[in-house]
Amino acid sequence: MAYFDTDYCYSFPAVRGMQAGRPFYIATCPMRIIPKIFSFDENEVPPELRAQRILNKSRIPEMVRYLLENPNDYVFSALTASIAIDVQFDEFSGSNNLGTLRVPMEAQILINDGQHRRKAIEDALEERPELGQDNIPVLFFVDEGLKRSQQMFADLNKYAIRPSPSLSALYDHRDISSSLARCLAMSVEPFIGLTELEKSSISARSNKLFTLSSIKQATRALLGKDPKEDNFEENTHIATLYWRAIFYIMPDWQLAAKKEVSAAQLRQEYVHAHGIGLQALGLLGRALLIEHPEDWQQKIAELKSFDWRKSNPELIKRAMQHGKLSKTSTAIQLTCNALKIALSLPLSPEEQELENQMVVL
């Protein structure tokens, strides 16, 4: 455990390693001392004199909530920090690179990667001080000046790629919407066997019709809100009934499920084989459940003759932009409007306004 010793140093049990000819140190630090010893550049410092990005304060509340709501089941990755002064490493007798890292208390310890985690820890400790007993790993480098620190920041973030929304939904067991999407993808027609689970875009030759992320978004549109744990079964029942009903009025989807037509061919020719079509159907379902709670299944059967072709002039002006399908919320809503008009469902004032703007354009 880190502590303040009589030589006015921070002392960390640590492991020493070498990277590119430079030593680095891996230590674990109690979370209660993270806000005290790790600093980050202030916003007023010009970018060229900083070694990291400006703190994005909008990200912090969500990270704090994650810590507070999951005190027994959270994971925070290691911080990476630069020490702007020479350090002392006292190797344990008979060990191989195990010892105590001693850092003078006057040293500036600057976070190169993880300043948002640092701030979230600070804010979370104010509400739940007992989190301070937990530890977080820290990777220490001995700083060689601003230029080196800036290069470290660039190198650490150069290859950092966020996982696709589909992969996040596949692995996120805390998010109820993701759990519902996984359930639908694995057990409900039309999604069984036709869902791309990892990527959020489908390649031209893929035999998949839907992405997991588009199922998640379309089902959220259908329910009108994020499902909660206490109504998961009810929402699963509603979503299952709706998407199965859609499947039965979509001959093309049925052919794809039976491998009698390729998913790639459907994507080339039809809007319903893309995320915009699925989300528009989700929005339509929400309206149907409100307007026709008792007979929506009979009502939706009228969609069986709807012209989903990309060449349909009505869909060209709603869902296409410069010859390609648009993924904007406006395009999704205008596509849904076409479905509502086909079923003689009333448009809301906002939806009618979009219609008026489209006519003007």
Alpha-carbon radius of gyration of the chain: 27
- Answer yes or no: do 121 and 174 share one domain: no
Q: Which two tokens stand for residue 334?
A: 């205008």
Q: Which residues contact 152 (CB under 8 A, 6 or more apart)?
A: 51, 80, 82, 112, 141
Residue 283 phi/psi, 5-degree rounding, is -60, -40
Domain total of the chain:
2
pLDDT of residue 146: 57
- Examine the domain organization and report whether 198 and 62 are in the same domain: no
Dihedral Cα 68, 165, 350, 317, nearest 10 deg:
170
Cis check: omega of the bond before 30, within 30 degrees of 0: no
One domain for residues 56 and 142: yes
Q: Which domain holds residue 191?
A: 165-360
Check residue 137 and give its pLDDT. Answer: 92
Residue type (1 letter), 268: Q
Q: How far apart are CA 97 and CA 262, in angstroms?
A: 58
Tell me, yes or no, whether 243 and 282 share the same domain.
yes
Contact 214, 275 (CB under 8 A): yes
Angle CA(284)–CA(305)–CA(211) in degrees, nearest 5? 50
State which of 136, 158, 180 marks the end of a domain: 158
The per-residue pLDDT for 284 is 95
Same domain, residue pair 190 and 138: no
69/93 same-domain check = yes
User: Does residue 202 sit in the same domain as residue 336?
Assistant: yes
Domain boundary among 124, 158, 192: 158
Instruction: Find the largest Cα–Cα distance for the chain.
Output: 83
Q: Which residues contact 74 (CB under 8 A, 6 or more apart)?
A: 66, 67
320 and 216 in a common domain: yes
Q: What is the pTM of this model?
A: 0.71
Same domain? For 291 and 320 the reply is yes
Q: What is the DSSP string of 252-294?
A: HHHHHHTTSS-HHHHHHHBGGGSHHHHHHHHHHHHHHHHH-TT
Q: With contact defined as beta carbons under 8 Å apart, do 22 and 142 qualify?
A: yes
Render pLDDT for 94-127 as a digit per residue (tens, 0 to 9): 888 999 998 888 887 778 788 889 999 999 999 9
Does 145 share its domain with 232? no
Residues 294 and 195 in one domain: yes
pLDDT of residue 47: 53
Last residue of a domain, one of 107, 140, 158: 158
Q: Do 39 and 179 share a domain, yes or no? A: no
C-alpha closest to that of 50 among 134, 118, 144, 147: 147
Measured CA to CA, the distance from residue 112 to residue 141 in angstroms comes to 10
- Residues in the chain with pLDDT < 50? 1-6, 44-45, 48-49, 360-361
